[in-house]
Amino acid sequence: MDSKVSTAIVLFKKRKKKNGKYPAKLRLTHNRKQMYYNIDSKNRVYEFTSDEFAKIVASKPRGVYKDIQLEFSLIEEKARKIILMMSDFTFDLFKVHFGITGSNMRNIYHYLDIKIIAYKKNGYGDKAASPMKKALQLFFNREFNLEFKELTVKKLKELELFMKERGVKQTTYYRYITTLKSAFRMAQKDGVIPLDLFPFGRDQYSVPRCITVKRALKISEIEKIYKYEPEPFSNEDEAKDFWILSYLCNGINMTDLYKLKYANINNDFISFIRQKTEHSSGVQKPILIPITDDIQRIIDKRGNPDKSPNNYVFPLLSDDLSFKDKKYKIAWRVRKFNVCMQQVGKKLGIEKHITTYTARHSFATVLKRSGISTEFISESLGHSNVKITESYLDSFENNQKKEVAKFLTSF
């Protein structure tokens, strides 16, 4: 950590209150740059006149001014501890640590809030952090402070039962626990809890990963959708085009599909990095999709006529939109498509629940049943390991199992 970070509590005279006083703020100075941070709490507002503040910072304050000076010293001590814990100091990271949950960094809510803020800001990271925090607040009946040491093996088992009673699915709960593990590791990295304070793993607490019922369609059902002819340029027509496009483009999800730019198309291939992994620390390998006649037909039909490299292929997003607005527009379009695909499924006699995500599972499962290796499918989906891919792949169809069973008595 760079030691050239100085702290001081000063009177912020750029902002005069209606009562004639000024707010007191924590000032950090780093590489000749200064930043100011609010030090108010729900129980205390630090506002003073110049004369009052001079009495607080005097060498021998008296009465209430002496008490306030002590409070200032505690605030600075907290700031210095945070600075020392940071391996690489930045003003933004300091603000996250300083402003969320008070002085106790052993509070697991502190690290969950860091995850929540990061996800809300740019969409990267852990979207399970917010529901995990709410679940802990409800289970422990405590809104503001929950120390890591309170999450014992016994309590985690009780939490699991608590969540099941409230209808939380096993796969969802597994993601919650993954978030908790990550929060523990973050706190250990910051040096606020010991390395042996980790209640997860072998001989401690673990949650088995549940393999859910898959959503893949049979190749015969996909053929029905492919050959279905809705009214041209109707909502059904658009939903069908993007469902087929997702299926043919390695099961690409709608977020990645709508974020494609013409710069991603080169030499008859679409190349892109999944948004889900583009900010991960591992090696990022682009997904390559050969552009078939069907893919080209849909791009020509639905794509932006201006094929400049920086233009989005499909005219839904623009660079001036915030992350939140982009997310909303894509989510709205996905909901619309899912309603339309359910209607298409009913018309075609397909009983399965068809969504945009069904296209991704169907892509993987059709390749598996065609004899393609799991490793190839994993690379095509952009998964970090084969185990993730295996959870996508549907089991063999029932008629195949019946045929295999006949061999058992083919004497």
Say how many C-beta atoms besides its own lie within 10 A of residue 395's C-beta: 13
Contacts of 170 (CB under 8 A, 6+ apart): 207, 208, 210
- Per-residue pLDDT at 114: 80
- Per-residue pLDDT at 217: 87
CATH tag, 100-210: 1.10.150
- Per-residue pLDDT at 156: 93
- Per-residue pLDDT at 341: 94
219-401: what CATH class?
A: mainly alpha
Angle between helices 356-369 and 235-248 (to 10 degrees): 40
DSSP string, 217-277: PPHHHHHHHHH---STTSHHHHHHHHHHHHHHTTT--HHHHHT-BGGGEETTEEEE--TTT
Domain boundaries, the chain: 1-87, 100-210, 219-401
- Per-residue pLDDT at 100: 47
Specify whether the CB–CB gap between 288 and 274 falls below 8 A.
no
- Per-residue pLDDT at 32: 86
Tell me the pTM: 0.59
Element at 8 (helix H, strand E): strand 5-11
- Per-residue pLDDT at 10: 93
Rounded CA separation 356/273 (Å) = 19
Instruction: List average pLDDT for each run of 10 residues in the chain, which is 411 residues long.
Output: 78 88 92 88 84 92 90 87 77 72 67 80 74 92 86 92 89 88 86 85 79 73 93 93 92 90 90 70 72 92 92 92 86 93 93 88 82 73 64 53 51 40
